[in-house]
Amino acid sequence: MADPEPTYLNTLRLIPKLPFLFGPSPIQALPRLTRAISPPTSCDPRITIHAKREDCNSPLAYGGNKVRKLVYLVADAQAHACTALVSVGGIQSNHTRAVTAVAAAAGLQAVTVQERWVPIDPPLYAQTGNILLSRLMGGDVRVGIGEEGGGEEGFGIGHKEATRRVCREVEEKGGKPYYIPAGASDHELGGLGFVDCMVEIAGQERELGIFFDTVIVCSVTGSSHAGLIVGAVAEGRGRKVIGIDASGKPEETKEQVTRIARNTAKLLDPDLEIPDSAIILDDRFHEGVYGVPGPSTIKAMQLAARTDAVITDPVYEGKSMAGMIQLIREGTIGPGSNVLYVHLGGQPALNAYSSYFETESAKDVQ
């Protein structure tokens, strides 16, 4: 007789979600990047690097990690007969683009507050990339309304006053708002998408005949990281999930990851405990400030692009790529390790950062 399904999987299966993903996102080997950062002579047995391509996970507006989380939240919004999704992010937020995309696909309205979270203003920053896509999809895009209402709150992973005002406005017009916090993270259902992702990874490992002992993921509002941690602890196979902070405020991010991981675990199985040792956040690669790439970010982006043509963005994935490369080079990730880099998406922001790739220093760093 087959073993009974663990409680967390049973519970997870019963929580409603919408079919906004293609199915399992692909896992791809990165042989040229692997050779470039761990030459055969330096390390035996060899390290392998694969990428879990969450940037290719959905047909909706280029997908990414936020769509994987939102499949649960939008099902909840529909169950509550809401008419509008209300959320918040930076000007080039992937999250607000994803909220607008799932709203379109679900036949809901989207109102997104776009705040100036990033202390730079490169050419066309507020016209191209994600914000262009949101406008194209018919989103009600509100730039700078935080300023009118008594001051922009600045970058933060917590809850925002401006969204409360927008919710009231939706109600006054007879609609019913569904509030989604920044990054769809600090929400009861925010961690579920990436528990699902870990379950998916385990299934793909069985097919590939590999076990990824080390998983690398970018962490900012924290629920992608938290969900993967819950999935890894629940399966109990001892794999390590290493978050790479890109928030520039690692204490806040770590606190939020811990809270979301524990709440998500409790939702799925009251007996599932997340030990402190499972929460790993490396704070060496955020380059000081959210949304601004530094030299190590640009170098890592170039290396990934020039070896296996993996395109990463300067806000998130370039920083986690820099983290993975360094963890391997310095030997923290040791010989024989099978590493899985979870690529969370974010390429639509790249064009808004084109000026970072015109300078001499950026041309040929390697």
Ligand X SMILES: *Cc1c(COP(=O)(O)O)cnc(C)c1O
Instruction: Name the burial class of residue 364, with classes exposed (0-12), middle (13-18) and buried (19+) by CB atoms within 10 angstroms of its CB.
Output: exposed
How many chain residues are in contact with ligand X, going by CB under 6 A? 21
Alpha-carbon gap, residue 226 to 194, rounded angstroms: 8
Listed in sequence order, the residues at least 6 apart from 332 whose beta carbon sits closer than 8 Å to its beta carbon are none
Interaction of residue 95 with ligand X, rule CB under 6 A: yes
Provide the mask over 135-174, with x wherever binding to ligand X is found by CB under 6 A and - wherever it is not: ----------------------------------------
- Minimum Å gap between C-beta 1 and ligand X is 39
* Residues 203 to 232 in contact with ligand X, rule: CB under 6 A: 218-225
Q: Are 179 and 86 in contact (CB under 8 A)?
A: yes
Question: Contact between 346 and ligand X (CB under 6 A)?
Answer: yes
User: Among 200, 205, 245, 317, which residue sits at the site for ligand X (rule: CB under 6 A)?
Assistant: 317
- Cβ of residue 40: shortest distance to ligand X, in angstroms? 31
Residue nearest to ligand X (CB): 346
Task: From residue 198, give the alpha-carbon distance in Å to each of 115, 167, 201, 225, 282.
Answer: 32, 33, 5, 11, 20
Stretch that binds ligand X, among 14-22, 39-47, 200-208, 313-321 (CB under 6 A): 313-321
Q: Does 64 bind ligand X (CB under 6 A)?
A: yes
Contact 204, 23 (CB under 8 A): no
Catalytic positions = 93
Q: Mask 22-51, x = binds ligand X (CB under 6 A)?
A: ------------------------------
Q: Which of 38, 109, 185, 263 binds ligand X (CB under 6 A)?
A: 185
Q: Is 97 in the site for ligand X (CB under 6 A)?
A: no
What SS3 class is residue 44?
coil
Binding of ligand X at residue 328 (CB under 6 A)?
A: no
Based on the shown chain and the rule CB under 6 A, indicate whether residue 193 belongs to the binding site for ligand X: no
Beta pairing class for 48-53 and 214-219: unpaired
Binding site for ligand X (CB under 6 A): 64-66, 94-95, 183, 185, 218-225, 313, 316-317, 344-346
